[in-house]
Chains A and B, each alone.
Chain A
Amino acid sequence: MIGDHRTHAAFSARAMIRAALAMVVALWPVLAWAHAEQGRAAGFLAGVHHPISGLDHVLAMISVGLWGAQLGAPAIWLLPVTFPVVMAMGGMLGLLGVHLPGVEIGIIFSGIVLGLTVFAEWRPPMGLAAAIVGCFAVFHGHAHGVELPAGASGLTYSIGFVMTTGTLHAVGIGIGVIHRWGWGRLALRASGACVTTAGLFFLWKVLA
């Protein structure tokens, strides 16, 4: 009898938990959609996705991190700081409708040149390295600005793609850690050659 009572009590407790969970699930959409503003999450996700939507963008941004890692401090953080800021300036130009000729070619050349710098392990003065990275960042940013999807939240879109861009640089820096070993230096230079080859392939596709 006592056992039955305990079984019944345990069953009731389980039933109550299930009912509570069902209630939470039932209420969830109401809480989630009770926002005065809409489209923010979509804007953020569009921003996160945009920089990784094209291999030409991805390779160039990772190459910035790789080159920074090869050059060491302060380039390891200065180049990845320069790129997003100047890219945002380019994005602003794109948003304002300022025409920039040869954006697609500029993006492709960024991959070719940055890949070559990694391949050659080129060590220019810091200012020149930042200028090269910044120059190409304008083209990438302009493309982002022009392609801002209609209706997307500009702010959350911007946050999303700045975060993704920074993360891609961080991936490059992370890979670049292998530069401390002899085989790692060779591997980095080989990856630079691969980036340049990919850039040449993209160029051929555009010109063909």
Chain B
Amino acid sequence: MRWGLLRAAIASAATVPMIPAVASAHLVNTGLGPFYDGISHLTLTPEDLLPAIALALLAGLRGAYAGRLALFIFPASWLIGGLAGLAWPTVGTAPVPIAVGFILLGGLVATDANIKPSWVVVLAIGLGLFHGYLNGAAMSQARLGALGLGGIVAALFAVVALVAALVVALRPPWTRIAVRVAGSWIVAVGLLLLGWSLRAA
């Protein structure tokens, strides 16, 4: 278990170089205040919502223990990354790493990859830090601050809890296949996003 956690920490640290030199500034303004802006940001931004759903699906497929780990570690990592983004913001876009994340997570869900819970932790930390950083940088530019980030993390917790719990509770075999089909759709979207990003570049 100790070696597993060590590997998880090393692999998470390896994701830090993925943080781009520039971050995406995309925000939705509800007019209801920064906390609700944060909630609406997650629910209306597929770049953030789809990987969150994919991770929750993966964690759910891997069982209740992995689901519980992802439920707390993923939002916490997102928060830490967001705070880093607030502190050291840069402005720009990072669609290629986002697309790669779609393909990786969707592929793991589609193949129902039998990975250990420690690898779910690695993915949760890496994904959370990366997307959190992008969100924090955007929040900083939009002057929403930590409250907006809090809204995103709260919404993220709810999304992961609902999706992972739903998948854990699935019993009939065809429902598990439906989850894997959803994973394949995420892979497809990721491939197209990658092509679109490379074309734009």
Q: A residues within 8 Å of B by Cβ? A: 30-31, 34-37, 77, 80-81, 84-85, 87-89, 91-97, 145, 148, 154-159, 162-163, 166
Asked if B180 is at the interface of the complex by the 8 Å CB criterion, the answer is yes
Is the Cβ of B188 less than 8 Å from the Cβ of A31? no
Q: B residues within 8 Å of A by Cβ? A: 26-31, 46-47, 50, 95, 110, 142, 177, 180-181, 184-185, 187-200
* Neighbour of A162 across the interface among B95, B110, B180, B188, CB < 8 A: B188
Smallest CB-CB separation from B27: which chain A residue? A36
| Contact status of A154 and B197, CB under 8 A, knowing A36-B27, A92-B191, A159-B189 | yes
Residues in B with CB closer than 8 Å to A155 are: 46-47, 95, 189, 193, 196
Residues in B with CB closer than 8 Å to A92 are: 191-192, 194-195, 198
Residues in B with CB closer than 8 Å to A81 are: 110, 180-181, 184
Residues in A with CB closer than 8 Å to B177 are: 77
Q: List 27 A-B contacts (CB under 8 A).
A: A34-B29, A34-B30, A36-B26, A36-B29, A36-B142, A77-B177, A80-B181, A84-B184, A84-B185, A84-B188, A88-B189, A88-B190, A88-B192, A89-B191, A91-B195, A92-B194, A94-B195, A95-B198, A95-B199, A96-B195, A148-B196, A154-B196, A155-B95, A155-B189, A158-B196, A159-B50, A162-B185
CA distance A157 to B187 in the complex (A): 14
Is the Cβ of A30 less than 8 Å from the Cβ of B195? no
Is the Cβ of B191 less than 8 Å from the Cβ of A37? no
Residues in B with CB closer than 8 Å to A91 are: 191-192, 195
